[in-house]
Amino acid sequence: MPPALAHHAGGESFVVPGELRAACREAGEGLGREDAALGVFRSAAEMVALWRGLDLPAWEAPYVLRDARLGYLNGYGAALVAGDLPGEHIARAAEARWGEGWQEKLEAALGRSGG
């Protein structure tokens, strides 16, 4: 697992492929929350680049990458709607995530979360 994700995974070793995928999703969520607090958003290509040089079996790689990305998006979104970040951080992070029209998308995300 890439170092940027590994410190969000609890440092366990993974024997069963499903365990690796679950850990990647959890680590992605942690990385997403961390990036939202910093007001940066990683593209899918940047997430894939984290794995460059790591040896993943071909039958696992697409699923592991997908789970890390889905976790990242969930964690990032959760950080935006949780209300734990100052308003200026939320605005910067939402703009980094959605670009033009971020206000409407943030409002919709808040509505879905009940916030």
Q: Which tens digit of pLDDT belongs to each residue from 17-54?
A: 678 888 889 999 999 999 999 999 999 999 989 888 87
CA nearest to 74, candidates 18, 16, 30, 19: 30
Considering its fold, how many domains does the chain have in total? 1
Report the C-alpha gap between 86 and 63 in whole angstroms: 34
Local confidence band at 58 (pLDDT 50, 70, 90 cut-offs): confident
Collect all residues with Cβ–Cβ distance below 8 Å to 106 and sequence separation of at least 6. Answer: 80, 90, 94, 98
Identify the pLDDT of residue 15.
53
The predicted-structure confidence for 61-112, as pLDDT tens digits, reads as follows: 888 899 999 999 999 999 999 989 999 999 999 999 999 999 999 999 999 9
The residue that leads in pLDDT, 15 or 20, is 20
Identify the pLDDT of residue 17.
61
Asked if pLDDT for residue 12 goes beyond 70, the answer is no
Burial 85-106 (b: 16+ CB within 10 A, else e): beeebbbbbbbbbbeeebeebb
Host domain of residue 45: 3-113
